[in-house]
Amino acid sequence: MQTSVIKYLGNLRTEAIHSQSGKQLITDAPTDNQGKGEAFSPTDLLSTSLGCCMLTIMGIVANRHAIEMTGTQVEITKIMKSDPRRVGEIDVKITLPKNYTTKEKELLENAARTCPVAKSLHPDLKQTINFVYPV
């Protein structure tokens, strides 16, 4: 089954429809590349996908080990490079809602680092991942 159907709407904007759910996603070119920046850009989605995947896999591991991680938040910073224009680095800050045992931290951090998106990105794309726990 296809994953999505994407239509070009003009003015550097696309509409993607998720085939299974019918949910819609709009993209817009970023302001630093001739766009209006009124929606996620394709490179924003690439970077954001990394954070979403990390949280999803961490959630699967948390469920398996009865670890509560509701409220965990990820902040993504995309750093562009040129020649050729591309995402050069994704800075990921994962803020967890509580302190965990050493074993739980190990499980959650490993889940984030080994999520499918992280493993699918080219090794030249630097992934800087920081885990923040309450003091």
Does one domain contain both 117 and 74?
yes
Both 117 and 96 in a single domain?
Answer: yes
Are both 77 and 27 inside the same structural domain? Answer: no
Residues 80 and 114 in one domain: yes
- Nearest alpha carbon to residue 29 among 47, 4, 11: 11
Instruction: Specify whether 74 is located in the same domain as 20.
Output: no
* Whole-angstrom distance, CA of residue 103 vs CA of residue 99: 11
Residues 54, 115 share a domain: yes
The domain tally of the chain equals 2
**What is the average per-residue pLDDT within 107-133?**
98
Closest CA to 112 of 100, 126, 127, 123: 127
- The CATH number assigned to the domain holding 127 equals 3.30.300.20
Range of the domain at 121: 42-132
- Residue 72 has what pLDDT? 98
Residues 103 and 68 in one domain: yes
pLDDT in tens, 14-73: 999 999 999 999 999 999 999 999 999 999 999 999 999 999 999 999 999 999 999 999
> Among 134, 46, 131, which residue's Cα sits nearest to residue 90?
46
Half-sphere exposure (Cβ direction) of 61: Cα atoms closer than 13 Å: 19
Check whether residue 57 and residue 19 sit in a common domain: no
- Same domain flag for 59 and 101: yes
**Residue 29, SS3 per DSSP:** coil
User: Three-state DSSP class for 59?
Assistant: helix
Check whether residue 115 and residue 57 sit in a common domain.
yes
As a whole number of angstroms, the distance between CA 22 and CA 36 comes to 25
Q: Band of the pLDDT at 126, cuts 50, 70, 90?
A: very high
Residues 91 and 68 in one domain: yes
